[in-house]
Structure 1
Amino acid sequence: MSLRSAVLMAGFVLTALNLRPAIAGVSPLLDEIMDDVGLSPAGGGAITTVMVVCLGVFGAVAPLLARRIGLDRTLLAGLLVIACGVALRGLDGAPVLYLGSALAATAIAVMNVSMPGVVKQHFPSRINVMTGVYVSAVVAGAAAASAAVVPLERLTGFGWRGVTALLAVPALLAALLWLPQALSRRSGPQGGPRPFGVVLRSRVTWYVTALMGLQSLTFYVVLAWLPTILMERGLPADQAGYLLSLTNLVQVAASLAIPVLAGRRASQVPYVVGAGVLTVLGYLGVLLAPTTVPWLWMVVLGIGQGASFALALLIIALRPADPAAVTALSAVAQSVGYVIAALGPLLFGYLRELSGGWTVPLVVILGVLVAQLVAGWLAGRPATLGAAGR
């Protein structure tokens, strides 16, 4: 491997690792943040809500930036804005806390949408492998941030503000590694016709969007509510936290391996359906026997959800013919998808409040998973985005 290729690979992986810590690093410090800033529980929860909403709303900016400055320079700008955002929210006062969070999430939204196009542009013959690398790095970044912020706070003595500022360091390092790509003559604006018209008229777009949104919804429900469900069924808090960590770690392995296999075939239907079925089985375990071999349900759930996320992004990269169309498809699928996902934990909690238990909301999620299976079967079929009737 040449030095240029090594720098490209290192920059790509480190960029992907920066796409979740700004979000995942909030929850472990939330009680301390609320006490220090003077926020109510609703105000503390609004930090994450603001970020998830930004993921859905601002992803559509990515194709516009790519046309003007190119995908590589869009990623570089995103990394610098993440660094500014996480540093800003460590300053004094609730307004800058929310502003910094929104700024970081806006950059992440743009980068989320851009990354499948970057895969298509830089690794056209290895889309399956590099999609797996990308998604596993995203998941690993989230897991590392949620696990490391509290020990890092204790080790450094900086408090939550200092630890928040430290999250800017890996973003700046990734920007430094990505700088050669951004300065390359081949990294200019994306020319050609505007792809949004073709993308919006294609059935493939809406199949992929449904898959992205529904699998994200079921993932965020797990992230928000799984420990609470397990604790109310009798498990201690520390064990509930370990089980959530276990399912997240399993997702890293699943998201790395599955795209490599699925990308070798014209149809991804068997893999998407299989991932959906595993997710159903994991949720059934949580519904029917949450304290009986709970680690097994977490492994099954982790494989299903990790594979589903990776396959949705793989399909986004495979279906269009060029990086500009990939970016446009990614913008539609991820923007709409994250808006759908943001509603999941809220509605799940509302159903819990109305029904007085977890059975009704979990049964509703199983219905959502049936819809995800249908969307996955439709999105996974061989197709070229924009072809007649598609």
Structure 2
Amino acid sequence: MAGFALAALNLRPAIAGISPLLDEIMDDVGLSPAGGGAITTVMVVCLGVFGPLTPLLARRFGLDRTLLAGLVVIAAGVMLRGLDGAPVLYLGSALAATAIAVMNVSMPGIVKQHFPSRVNLLTGVYVSCVVAGATIASAVVIPLERATGFGWRGVSALLAVPALLAALLWLPQALGGQAGTQNGPRPFGAVLRSRTTWYVTALMGLQSLTFYVMLAWLPTIFVEAGLPADQAGYLLSLTNLVQVGTSLAIPVLAGRRASQVPYVVGAGLLTVLGYLGMLLAPAAAPWLWMIVLGIGQGASFALALLIIALRPADPASVTALSAVAQSVGYAIAALGPVLFGFLRQVSGGWTVPLLAGLGAVGAQIVAGWFAGRPATLGKANL
């Protein structure tokens, strides 16, 4: 359990820990703003591209050993990008993100394999640790840099420590767990033919899109509404913090029911309320809007991953469904911040972008309605 939880905590710090240090990185390495932004872009692209490798690795080595390798590669990647030069910065970031992509896809299968009777509880633990890891990383990298005097390179290398600790805790499980087999089930084709797969993929992609839009643009929206820049940053931290508790509680409740539709719809409606608050009165009650938005988005993320773990009948099918939903989902999500910014540029304000965001949340609710209905995806009936 400790190794599982700490592994989940390592799924976002390598990405979230870059943003607070980005200005310093650009000055030190000599990158333009576009080059600095490309660090995150490279990582998000890797999240989408390399996730489909996971079922192949799991068949060959087993889920437990695949997760162990992912932790070791994350540590290698964050240490590599702290070396001198832009090429190793990008290479290390890509290496860490590739490992994260594989681990993202592995985790629902590991839940199904080791905790089949407690999928709801362990999904809550997993998702809350993911969100907590991102929140902690973005909050502590600057204080850690000031306290240690290491600079951004040293702080980046320190992010390898929790990954190596998680690997150490997971090592006994990996050595004693199930090995892979080339003769194992090959559920990819059946997964791709299932309509439920595409409902789940749409839910995963659309909830990720609306989240990354807010992650990229929320502080700017509040600053242009007249709030101080520091308060705008605190509001972003608040909505992320709210998601930690929500993502732990919601899977426990929703997993007890055959249908997750009421929870998916409720989470979507809360996200709608958060968007409407920013559209109609962003400066009137910003803390309230961020709490509502955090509950909605945290619940939506947790429910998408819970449904991925619940619907298939076996760990191999869970891993295949997770690979499809997360890879395509991250590709959809990567378009969100760019399109949102483009709509802001051509319209001259935030009304049109926020209306588009509301449309995306509406589509998310529709996809969740179908994805949340009771169904079983098994090797024989996918």
The interval holding the TM-score normalised by the smaller chain is over 0.9
Q: Does the residue aligned with 1:186 lie in a helix, a strand or coil?
A: coil
Task: Find the aligned partners of 2:345 and 2:71 in 1 and give their Cα distance.
Answer: 40
**Equivalence for 2:206:** 214
Task: Find the aligned partners of 1:185 and 1:89 in 2 and give their Cα distance.
Answer: 32
Asked whether 1:160 is paired with 2:152, we answer yes
**Equivalence for 1:249:** 241
Please report how far the alpha carbon of residue 193 of structure 1 lies from its aligned counterpart in structure 2 after TM superposition: 2.4
Please report how far the alpha carbon of residue 192 of structure 1 lies from its aligned counterpart in structure 2 after TM superposition: 3.0
Once the two structures are superposed, residues 161-213 of structure 1 have per-residue CA deviations (whole angstroms, 9 ceiling, x without a partner) of 00000000000000000001110153444753200111011111000000000
**Equivalence for 1:348:** 340
**Equivalence for 1:83:** 75
**Equivalence for 1:47:** 39
Aligned residue identity for 1:373: I
Change (3 A) 1:303 1:185: closer
Please report how far the alpha carbon of residue 293 of structure 1 lies from its aligned counterpart in structure 2 after TM superposition: 1.1
Asked whether 1:25 is paired with 2:29, we answer no
Please report how far the alpha carbon of residue 284 of structure 1 lies from its aligned counterpart in structure 2 after TM superposition: 0.5
**Equivalence for 1:367:** 359
Task: Find the aligned partners of 2:284 and 2:106 in 1 and give their Cα distance.
Answer: 42
Task: Find the aligned partners of 1:108 and 1:316 in 2 and give their Cα distance.
Answer: 18
1:328 aligned to which of 314, 320, 331: 320
Asked if the contact 1:190/1:324 (under 8 Å) is kept, the reply is no
User: What is the correspondence of 1:188-227 to structure 2 with a 5 Å cutoff?
Assistant: 188-189=180-181, 191-227=183-219
Task: Find the aligned partners of 1:185 and 1:227 in 2 and give their Cα distance.
Answer: 45
The count of corresponding residues between Structure 1 and Structure 2 is 382
Aligned residue identity for 1:127: V
2:91 aligned to which of 84, 99, 120: 99
Change (3 A) 1:88 1:206: same
**Equivalence for 1:229:** 221
Aligned residue identity for 1:275: A
Please report how far the alpha carbon of residue 386 of structure 1 lies from its aligned counterpart in structure 2 after TM superposition: 5.4
1:111 aligned to which of 103, 122, 126: 103
User: What is the correspondence of 1:136-147 to structure 2 with a 5 Å cutoff?
Assistant: 136-147=128-139
Q: Does the residue aligned with 2:178 lie in a helix, a strand or coil?
A: helix
Please report how far the alpha carbon of residue 389 of structure 1 lies from its aligned counterpart in structure 2 after TM superposition: 9.1
Task: Find the aligned partners of 2:165 and 2:309 in 1 and give their Cα distance.
Answer: 26
Asked whether 1:301 is paired with 2:293, we answer yes
**Equivalence for 1:171:** 163
Task: Find the aligned partners of 1:285 and 1:269 in 2 and give their Cα distance.
Answer: 24
Please report how far the alpha carbon of residue 155 of structure 1 lies from its aligned counterpart in structure 2 after TM superposition: 0.2
1:263 aligned to which of 242, 250, 255: 255
Asked if the contact 2:313/2:378 (under 8 Å) is kept, the reply is no
TM-score by length of 2: 0.98
Asked whether 1:122 is paired with 2:114, we answer yes
Runs of 5+ consecutive residues of structure 2 not aligned to the other structure: none
Change (3 A) 1:83 1:389: closer
Q: Does the residue aligned with 1:235 lie in a helix, a strand or coil?
A: coil
Change (3 A) 1:215 1:372: same
Please report how far the alpha carbon of residue 332 of structure 1 lies from its aligned counterpart in structure 2 after TM superposition: 0.1
Once the two structures are superposed, residues 328-379 of structure 1 have per-residue CA deviations (whole angstroms, 9 ceiling, x without a partner) of 0000000000000011001100111111111101101111111000000000
Q: Does the residue aligned with 2:52 lie in a helix, a strand or coil?
A: helix
**Equivalence for 1:5:** none
**Equivalence for 1:3:** none
Q: Does the residue aligned with 2:50 lie in a helix, a strand or coil?
A: helix
Asked if the contact 1:52/1:105 (under 8 Å) is kept, the reply is yes
Asked whether 1:72 is paired with 2:64, we answer yes
Runs of 5+ consecutive residues of structure 1 not aligned to the other structure: 1-8
Task: Find the aligned partners of 1:291 and 1:33 in 2 and give their Cα distance.
Answer: 33
Asked whether 1:276 is paired with 2:291, we answer no
**Equivalence for 1:181:** 173
Once the two structures are superposed, residues 54-97 of structure 1 have per-residue CA deviations (whole angstroms, 9 ceiling, x without a partner) of 10110000000000000000000000000000000000111110
**Equivalence for 1:357:** 349
% same residue? 85
**Equivalence for 1:385:** 377
Please report how far the alpha carbon of residue 388 of structure 1 lies from its aligned counterpart in structure 2 after TM superposition: 9.5
RMSD, aligned α-carbons = 1.2
Aligned residue identity for 1:380: G
Asked whether 1:62 is paired with 2:48, we answer no
**Equivalence for 2:125:** 133
**Equivalence for 2:27:** 35
